[in-house]
Amino acid sequence: MYNNNNNNNNINRMGFNINRYIKDLREEIIDAMVSENITEEHEVDDWINQDIDNHVIYYSDSIEIIEELGAYDWSSFDLECTNISQVAYCALLEEIHNNDFDFDELMEEAKELMEEDEE
């Protein structure tokens, strides 16, 4: 659906870095809003979900995410987690929601970029 070629750039020998991930994801979404004409909140949600899916494919990546986020108690997650990937997915989604991914704010930043490109 979306051209999301992150290839787990935020997971490397140094481990997963949530701050770098949030920054990169935010930039990717804004770029997609500009280049792929994403204009609906559900499209941003789909983008985020797909990106998280890409990051929790491998067991070792999921462990890195869980360690970075300290997600050792997943009883509060909406999903009943039965494997490491689901724990990492829920922890990452929760962290994204805690980092103010406001659709209107993202859209405003995308509009500013489009206006700059027109000048």
Residue 10 in any domain: the answer is: no
Residue 63 in any domain: the answer is: yes
Q: Closest by alpha carbon to 103, among 52, 30, 18?
A: 30
The count of structural domains within the chain is 1
Q: Closest by alpha carbon to 64, among 45, 91, 93?
A: 91
Residue 13 in any domain: the answer is: no
The token pair that represents 53 in the structure block: 């899916």
Q: Which residues of 54-67 are buried (b: 16+ CB within 10 A; e: fewer)?
A: ebbeeeebbbbbbe
> Can you give the pLDDT of all 119 residues of the chain as single tens digits?
444 444 454 544 568 999 999 999 999 999 999 998 888 999 999 999 999 999 999 999 999 999 999 998 888 888 889 999 999 999 999 999 888 788 899 999 988 988 877 76
Domain residues for 37? 18-118
- Whole-model pTM: value is 0.80
Residue 12 in any domain: the answer is: no
Contact 68, 16 (CB under 8 A): yes
Residue 52 in any domain: the answer is: yes
Residue 2 in any domain: the answer is: no
